[in-house]
Amino acid sequence: MTNNRSWIPYLLILPSVAFLGLLFVVPLVQTIWLAMSDNGMPSLANAERMVNDINFARSVRNTFLLTIVVVPVQLCIALVMGTLVAKVGRGRETILWIWTIPLGISDLAAGLVWLSILQNTGYFNSALFGLGIIERQASWLSYQTPVALFLAIAIAEIWRGTAIVMVIIVAGLNQVPKEFREAAEIFGAGPWTRFWRITLPLIRPALQSALILRTVLAFEVFAVVYALGGRNFPVLVGEAYYWQNQNQNYGVAAAYAVLIMIISLAATLVYLKAIKVDPERLP
């Protein structure tokens, strides 16, 4: 019986394997080949062209800068939100629902929302003018105000992407029995000690997942930047887009895509090493 049926599991996973192969592995191999070849011959010409482009260094710097600023801030806010919502009794579901609304908005739409707030004739300027803080329209999103532009993009990204971190953190917090915190409280740990020494170590798996997911997504930032800053603030995915669409150079675009993938994989590895999850030390 069992021998006759040994092929059934393989049959069952066949559709998903075929799906992955067709839509993931094949394009991946094609992209890598596209990036590493020139006129059908293996070549590093595309990579060279990418690295020597005037926007390359800026886009690498901007992408890393955004990730380094946005991800930790999102993690902190998500931890605060998760802890707050854990203390709420009634209306918890409603609060969670409202907080996750940004998750349901497409990133380009989110970018446009923030554009309508921050552009020269936007709500932010109107409010400042109404309060008498500024005398004429101020520009926040131009290449002449790089710091304001960076902050605007960071804030929009934080608004857009914190909810997913919070959802994972809340799920992690729900896994920690309340007796751990109560025991810590009985034995003299204050709220801070309880958080740092009990809660945080116990939600390591959730922290790890949230950080990997959020960091990979941060390296792929594009639509919000595109809506708010255009090419005034070059980022890696944006450059891939311009090489593909405007310069019609698929090779260099593919080189960018491969670079982003390598960075994401490296970041994931770093997290897996840095936040070790030892199943022995979990509840």
Partner 1 sequence: MANIVIDRIRKSFGSFEALKEVSLTINDGEFVSLLGPSGCGKTTLLRIIAGLETATSGDVRIGEKSVIGLPPKDRGLAMVFQNYAVFPHMTVYENVAFGLRMQKAEDRRVKAQVEKAAGLLHIEQYLDRYPNKLSGGQRQRVAVARALAVEPKVLLMDEPLSNLDALLRLEMRTELKTVLQSAGTTTIYVTHDQTEAMGLSDRIAVMHGGVVEQVGSPVDVYNHPATRFVGGFIGNPPMNFIKVPVANGQVMAGADQLAVPREAGNEIVLGLRGEAVELAPPQQGLEMKVRVAEPMGSHLLLTGSIHDQPVRVILPASETVKSGDTIGLKLDRNRITWLSPESGKSFPAVAA
Residues contributing to the site for partner 1 (CB under 8 A): 177, 179-180, 182-189, 193, 198, 201-202, 279-283
Tokens of 85: 């919502």
| Nearest CB to partner 1, comparing residues 180 and 250 | 180
CB of 42 to partner 1, least distance (A): 49
CB of 194 to partner 1, least distance (A): 10
Query: How many CB atoms are closer than 10 A to CB 218?
Result: 21
CA atoms within 13 A on the CB side of 282: 11
| Nearest CB to partner 1, comparing residues 90 and 273 | 90
CA distance 250 to 254: 6
| Nearest CB to partner 1, comparing residues 147 and 186 | 186
| Nearest CB to partner 1, comparing residues 61 and 197 | 197
Query: How many CB atoms are closer than 10 A to CB 177?
Result: 11
Separation of CA 179 from chain center: 33
CB of 89 to partner 1, least distance (A): 11
| Nearest CB to partner 1, comparing residues 198 and 261 | 198
CB of 180 to partner 1, least distance (A): 6
Burial of 132 (0-12, 13-18, 19+ CB in 10 A): exposed
CB of 185 to partner 1, least distance (A): 5
SS3 270: helix
The per-residue b/e assignment along 186-200, b for 16 or more CB within 10 angstroms, e otherwise, is eeebeeeebeeebbe
Query: How many CB atoms are closer than 10 A to CB 8?
Result: 8
